[in-house]
Amino acid sequence: MPRYYRYLGELLDEGVERISSNELSLKMNVTASQIRQDLNNFGGFGQQGYGYNVQYLYEEIGRILGLEQQHNIIIIGVGNLGQALANYGSFEKMGFMITGLFDINPALDGHMVRGVPVRMLSELEEFAAGHKIDIAALTMPKHTADKLARRLVNLGIRAIWNFAHVDLELMDQDVVVENVHLSDSLMQLSYNMLRNGKKKERQEKGDTENR
Amino acid sequence: MPRYYRYLGELLDEGVERISSNELSLKMNVTASQIRQDLNNFGGFGQQGYGYNVQYLYEEIGRILGLEQQHNIIIIGVGNLGQALANYGSFEKMGFMITGLFDINPALDGHMVRGVPVRMLSELEEFAAGHKIDIAALTMPKHTADKLARRLVNLGIRAIWNFAHVDLELMDQDVVVENVHLSDSLMQLSYNMLRNGKKKERQEKGDTENR
């Protein structure tokens, strides 16, 4: 779904008003029947022979993804990664507003990132009492992540965007966690490189033998 | 596989020498039979009744993931995200060495990040001629990503770690791409929050009706 939303947003930017499942299929590198199936699962927006209304589909998928409501995000850990997230303008366009930044480094206290001041982590409870927080992004070292996640859950925060290199051990089923494990992603890349190299070797060997 | 590698590394750090599939199952929140199946697929490291030798399994999976060889990475785009990647010490431990940093901002020219100087993107070809590059990480805006990716492929780079908010249109089947789409991840989180909220509503409604 996020991928559809992204592509439809690009089409809108390009001024495209209607698109057939075949055209979308070519663009997204997915079969047209897969596209029809996916979009039917989510309410069937298409009209046979007319294609999809891009604007309508974009808005509907946005609604399904919960993007029509604003989400307030706090970032815990204002190192390079935390600052990168705070500086992403595109999150705001999707309704994700960075409303709080927290760190334990006193040198960062009061430092502003896009108009949001860095607060000390000790002020978290006070901040949470006065501000609605929907999502907490964790970008601090993994050994502190579990403890902090429990603290966030105790504050009533129901969604964690976890960049710490650990799977959070949360017992609370009500909390949703989305992980971005950069090291895992890099290892996956390494694995695919190796596999690709071996495939190529086999192909070249095959080519030679067939000669 | 990366997830197994991560957990086994943690076990090693904790000084654990042997682990049964049941113990690993509890830790990783995966069924023991799934674990046995996964590890059998990758060569069967276990011995009935003895559990797995953690060190051996860790090294074997590392080998499967291609981590026993060094990978040289260049980062293109030395904004906050690029700097965050360049500063990650844990990549090095897995054999991923950041050997080059490139940007188009002259203000960054010569700026050092962990001993690696930022070069101007115009020097990329010269650098590639004298240095082996295994992976290029792209952290620049999406509108420049496709063109740059083709430039990298022309330089013989066979792996791209893509943070640009776009699916790269590479025709070359030999190139492996691993995407980290942060906005997609955030939308997925939003979707899961909404779904979780609805599930909870239904449960509460059910509870009330059952009273």
* Minimal-distance CA residue of chain A relative to B173: A196
* Contact flag B66-A3 (C-beta cutoff 8 Å): no
pLDDT reported for residue B209: 61
Provide the 8-state DSSP code for A174: T
The minimum CA-CA distance between B147 and chain A, rounded to whole Å, is 17
What local confidence, expressed as pLDDT, does residue B68 receive? Answer: 86
Q: Give the percent of chain A with pLDDT over 70.
A: 92
* CA dist B119 → A67, A80, B82, B99, B189 (Å): 39, 19, 13, 11, 36
| pLDDT tens, position by position, A7-32 | 998 899 899 988 888 888 888 888 88
- Classify burial at B50, counting beta carbons within 10 Å of its beta carbon; exposed 0-12, middle 13-18, buried 19 or more: exposed
Pairwise CB contact (< 8 Å): B135 & A189? yes
Tell me which chain A residue has its CA closest to the CA of residue B86: A80
pTM for the predicted model, two decimal places: 0.85
Residue A197 CA, chain-centre distance (Å), reads 30
What are the residue ranges of helices labelled H in chain A? 2-13, 21-28, 32-41, 54-64, 80-87, 89-93, 124-130, 142-154, 182-210
With residues binned 3-state (H G I as helix, E B as strand, rest as coil), the percentages for chain A, rounded to 5, are: 50, 20, 30
Q: Which residues of chain B have pLDDT under 70?
A: 42-49, 171-172, 207-211
pLDDT for the residue A26: 86
Q: Which of A25-29, A113-117, A171-175 has the highest mean pLDDT?
A: A113-117
Spatial distance between the Cα atoms of B153 and B42, rounded to a whole number of angstroms: 31
Instruction: Provide the residue type at B49 as one letter.
Output: G
The Cα of A183 is separated from the nearest Cα of chain B by a number of Å equal to: 7
The pLDDT confidence band at residue A122, using thresholds 50, 70 and 90, is very high
**Is there a contact between B180 and A185 if contact means CB atoms under 8 Å apart?**
yes
The pLDDT, as a whole number, for residue B48 is 62
Alpha helices (H) in B42-172, listed in sequence order: 54-64, 80-87, 89-93, 124-130, 142-154
Give B144 to chain A, closest Cα distance, Å.
15
Nearest to A90 among B66, B167, B183 (CB): B183
Beta-carbon separation of B6 and A183 below 8 A: yes
The answer to whether the Cβ–Cβ distance between A182 and B180 falls below 8 Å is yes
Highest-pLDDT range among A85-89, A121-125, A198-202: A121-125
C-alpha–C-alpha distance, residues B68 and B61, integer Å:
10
Q: CA-CA distance, B211 to B209, in Å (whole number)?
A: 5
Closest residue by Cα to residue B180 from B40, B81, B89: B81
The dihedral built from the CA positions of residue A85, A179, A29 and B77, taken in this order, carries a sign that is: positive
The average pLDDT across A71-90 equals: 92
Q: What ipTM describes this predicted complex? A: 0.85
Q: How confident is the model at residue A86 (pLDDT cuts 50, 70, 90)?
A: very high
Q: CA of B53, closest CA in chain A: separation in Å?
A: 21
Q: What's the confidence (pLDDT) of residue A211?
A: 53
If you ran DSSP here, which 8-state letter would residue B137 be given?
E
Q: A90 or B15: which carries more pLDDT confidence? A: B15
Tell whether the model's pLDDT for residue A134 goes beyond 90: yes
